[in-house]
A = this chain, B = another copy of it.
């Protein structure tokens, strides 16, 4: 298969294979050079195709955010999965045990009821001990225990469970709060040391701060997700250049109601409403003076800058979205592109499922 991008019906998601592979290698090289493990988060691409390439490049395994993602990656032959999400409920816990039969599985917790669930379903199950990380809130204000003492108490409860083992600490620091996370984790190490409990691994995430991850003193594993595709918000954060962005949305100008307004067939059901602090809804390649000022569900409004010219009706444009992870999630398929040609069409296998 090698067809022209221009023949694709729009909107379509294009992924430049060469750029994605370069991004995979660059991150792996950085991690290897700085002596930490990489465990890429597949929520960005949701494709076993790229998960296998991340592992082939040197990743120790993958990270999933949803049980369905993990199940689909396991079916596709990925063998080492960290599920960074509290799993609750009898049905999901049953699926979790089933998953632990297939792959080397690690999970997380930040509370007692979740550990009790893991304990209940693994006790007596014919599976290897389930590795459980304790999630720590190091400034992200999402999930995670608030103090090292809480982390220790949960670790002790994990260790006491017959078929659970303590995997270590896990955190997703807010963008720009890496140093704060490192300090939090350092204090936790002190608390665990004092209690005589070893922390086998400390896993940390986030593409925005990945290029300074080597400065962290209390981290053994990093879980970047967006780095494979990069996007406009990562460019704004200094983590990539526009030229390194592998994912773009192909859209067609369907209307030019006024001199300075163009309407494209990409709205919130393509680009999503995610702003992530950006001005407008994406970077239009080759039309840097113009902005995507508004989206409705299937329409995007482009306004031209002073003296800038807008594309004509029927012209196609390529847009680097603000947030790649949510865009790929909107589509059933992405198109793989190399050397300016479409070389394959991949189903986004891990989208659409429950948590």
Contacts and interface: CB of A to CB of B under 8 A. Distances in A.
Contacts of A104: none
A123 to B, nearest CB: 19
A269 interface: yes
A143 B255 contact: yes
Nearest to A355: B265
Contacts of A298: 43, 65-66, 85, 355
Interface stretch (A52-60, A88-96, A163-171, A207-215): A88-96
Q: Which of A143, A145, A331 has the most CB of B within 10 A?
A: A143
Contacts of A110: 255, 257
A89 B252 contact: yes
Contacts of A294: 141-142
A114 B265 CA distance: 14
Interface in A174-232: none
Contacts of A85: 254, 265, 298
Contacts of A25: none
A273 interface: yes
A296 interface: yes
A256 B65 contact: no
B326 A88 contact: no
Interface in A310-350: 313-314, 325-326, 329-332
Contact of A325 (B297, B330, B331): B297
Interface of A: 7, 9-12, 43, 65-66, 85-86, 88-89, 91-92, 110-111, 113-114, 137, 141-146, 252, 254-258, 261, 263, 265, 268-269, 272-275, 294, 296-299, 301, 313-314, 325-326, 329-332, 352-355
Across chains A and B, which 4 residue pairs bring their CB atoms closest together, nearest first? Answer: A273-B273, A332-B352, A265-B355, A86-B254
